[in-house]
Amino acid sequence: MIENLDQAEERIQKLLSPNEADWKKAARIAIEVQDKKLYEQQFNSFTAWVDRIAQKCARQPSLIWRHIKASRYYLQLRGSENLEILTEIKAAPEALERLEKVKRNAPQPVFEKLKEKVLAGEATVRECRQIEQEYRPEGEQLRRGRPSKGQEGCYKHLGNWETVDVKAVNVETKNTDNASAEPLSRRQIATTIARSLSINLVNWTCECAGMNYPPRNFKEHTEVRVNVGGIRRRIDFLAVVRWSVKRPKEIFAIEIKSCLSDFEADNKWIDYLDFCHYFCFAIPNDNSELLETIATTNSTAGILGVDFNSEIGDDLSYPVYVIRSPQKLEGKLVARVYETLYERALGWSGSDRLGDEDEVQ
């Protein structure tokens, strides 16, 4: 029980020392200082007190804030106000912080599965950071939370993207209080499909190419920009595979479509056929209208279905099925793709910067 500010500071300094380093107990004391307004004994605001205690502990104030926010979010997840349970936290504070952002932007099943792993201490900070970045609203990293021009005073930049008709995708939420999840946005669908393609890459590339053994080497890339007639086009998902040292590398180009209107509004995918050896559309598995339209549009393209109605895996991906295998293409211009990937690896490619004026998606 903390009775005064000096006592709180003394205990926090000890808890954040290299010998003890117990952030959970330190965060609990800081929360007590805030809730009981003990900081008012010497300071005008809680923020001012956090700055002072951070200086005393030779820590950045942002670190103290992270510990406080992570602890409060843990209490929220557990539905409790009992500070005693903070000692039960198994996750790192950044993992909890990233989880809160995932909840705002990712589909409900993704959040629920990640929450389960975080609370059990099975999710690494790296995994949480990667998933949060995958579902982060486009351009948010550059704006650092600020609204884009024309969006001042509204909340759309925080993740309220355009949603797709619930008839197109209806994801059931497993093991939650809700019977079903809210309709997903196009970006949420596309991001989830891309993640599922990445996790299950070996299986669907083998089936598409008719191979009975996995590739020796493989690597996926997202949003690869190639030059077509002086205009840069963006390939949603691209996989480079090498089956063996005796076989040449092959490129799989994937165009992700979340719904029928998304497909009908874009015919630039035709330009991609020369940039790969196999071309596929990746769509929600149960969107029969979209499937039928794609199937009758081009016989060369393969069709990959991502089953959003299945139980989401521990790797936060859904199963990927090859609905129709693609035909083998000549890949006349694959050298341009390799050049783009080479420049990306070196950090030379200006085409990877979002917002290029001459880019047409």
pLDDT, tens digit, 9 for 90 and up, residues 191-230: 999 999 999 999 999 999 999 999 999 999 999 988 777 7
pLDDT of 171 over the 80 cut: no
pLDDT at 356: 41
Per-residue pLDDT reduced to its tens digit, 226-283: 877 777 889 999 999 999 988 889 999 999 999 999 999 888 899 899 999 999 999 9
Hey, which residues does 304 pair with through a beta bridge? 282, 322
Domain ranges of the chain: 5-88, 186-352
pLDDT of 69 over the 80 cut: yes
Tell me the C-alpha distance between 194 and 197, whole Å. 5
Per-residue pLDDT reduced to its tens digit, 105-115: 999 999 999 99
Residue pair 65/96 in contact (Cβ under 8 Å)? The answer is no
pLDDT at 352: 53
Mean pLDDT of 11-34: 89
Q: How confident is the model at residue 157 (pLDDT cuts 50, 70, 90)?
A: very low
Q: How confident is the model at residue 178 (pLDDT cuts 50, 70, 90)?
A: very low
By percentage, how much of the chain surpasses pLDDT 70?
A: 84
pLDDT of 24 over the 50 cut: yes
**Would the pTM of this model clear 0.75, i.e. be above it?**
yes
**Stretch among 145-149, 190-194, 284-288 having the lowest mean pLDDT:** 145-149
pLDDT at 266: 85
CA atoms lying within 13 Å on the CB side of residue 96: 24
- Please give the C-alpha separations between residue 309 and each of 89, 204, 232, in angstroms, as whole numbers: 32, 19, 35
Per-residue pLDDT reduced to its tens digit, 126-144: 999 999 999 998 765 444 4
* Cβ neighbours around 135 below 10 Å, total: 21
Tell me the C-alpha distance between 48 and 269, whole Å. 55
Mean pLDDT of 275-294: 95
66 vs 167, higher pLDDT: 66
Residues 6+ apart with CB under 8 A from 103: 111, 115
pLDDT at 350: 58
Tell me the C-alpha distance between 361 and 359, whole Å. 6
Tell me the C-alpha distance between 323 and 208, whole Å. 10
By percentage, how much of the chain surpasses pLDDT 90?
A: 68
Per-residue pLDDT reduced to its tens digit, 296-351: 988 889 999 999 999 999 999 999 999 999 999 999 999 999 999 998 888 886 55
Average pLDDT, the chain: 85
pLDDT at 139: 60
Residues 6+ apart with CB under 8 A from 113: 312, 313, 314, 316
Tell me the C-alpha distance between 70 and 352, whole Å. 34
**Stretch among 181-185, 281-285, 308-312, 352-356 having the lowest mean pLDDT:** 352-356
Q: How confident is the model at residue 163 (pLDDT cuts 50, 70, 90)?
A: very low
In terms of DSSP bridges, do strands 250-256 and 231-242 run parallel, antiparallel, or are they unpaired? antiparallel
Tell me the C-alpha distance between 195 and 221, whole Å. 11
Mean pLDDT of 110-123: 96
